[in-house]
Structure formats: structure tokens, C-alpha cells
């Protein structure tokens, strides 16, 4: 799984999820999707007021993971 960084942007009331290797971002605006994401990681909005790191358990960046693995095999 790929490493991601995620945090809650209070000004814009959104959850930002960034793929660490590529820098690509996904933004979650809907409360129901935010709740689902946070439940998966066992966190609350207050806990993600600062950036947190974890594995991409929900496969938000599945395409990026395939690219990361193919680039890794070229280096060997």
C-alpha cells in the first residue's frame, strides 16, 4: 500500500488526502464520505486538524500504487 498524508482543512470544511510519492491530492467535501474515511482510520476531525500519515487503506490512489511498483522494478 502507498503512504498518504491527510488533514482536515477547517477554512474550507474539507478533508485533504495526499499521495506522498506523487503529490497527487484527493479532496473530500461531503460529511458522509469524511465520516467513512475517518472511521476507517479510527480518527476524528479534531485528530486530523494536523497532518497525519498512514497507508492508503481505501485505495484512493490505486493507479498511483501501480505506477510506484513499476518504477521500483526498473531500479533493480
| pLDDT tens digits along 5-50 | 999 999 999 999 999 999 999 999 999 999 999 999 999 999 999 9
> Is 34 exposed, middle or buried (CB count within 10 Å of its CB: 0-12, 13-18, 19+)?
middle
pLDDT band at 2 (very low <50, low <70, confident <90, very high): confident
Residues contacting 35, CB < 8 A, separation 6+: none
pTM attached to this predicted model: 0.80
pLDDT at position 62 is 80
pLDDT band at 70 (very low <50, low <70, confident <90, very high): low
3-state SS assignment for residue 68: helix
Q: Which domain holds residue 18?
A: 3-75
Cα within 13 Å of Cα(40), Cβ side: 14
**Cβ atoms of residues 56 and 65 within 8 Å:** yes
**Total structural domains in the chain?**
1
Amino acid at each position: 500500500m502507498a503512504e498518504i498524508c491527510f488533514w482536515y482543512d477547517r477554512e474550507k470544511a474539507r478533508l485533504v488526502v495526499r499521495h506522498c510519492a506523487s503529490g497527487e491530492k484527493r479532496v473530500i467535501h461531503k460529511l458522509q464520505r469524511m465520516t467513512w474515511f475517518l472511521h476507517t482510520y479510527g480518527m476524528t476531525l479534531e485528530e486530523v486538524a494536523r497532518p497525519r500519515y498512514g497507508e492508503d487503506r481505501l485505495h484512493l490512489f490505486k493507479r498511483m500504487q501501480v505506477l510506484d511498483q513499476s518504477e521500483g522494478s526498473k531500479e533493480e
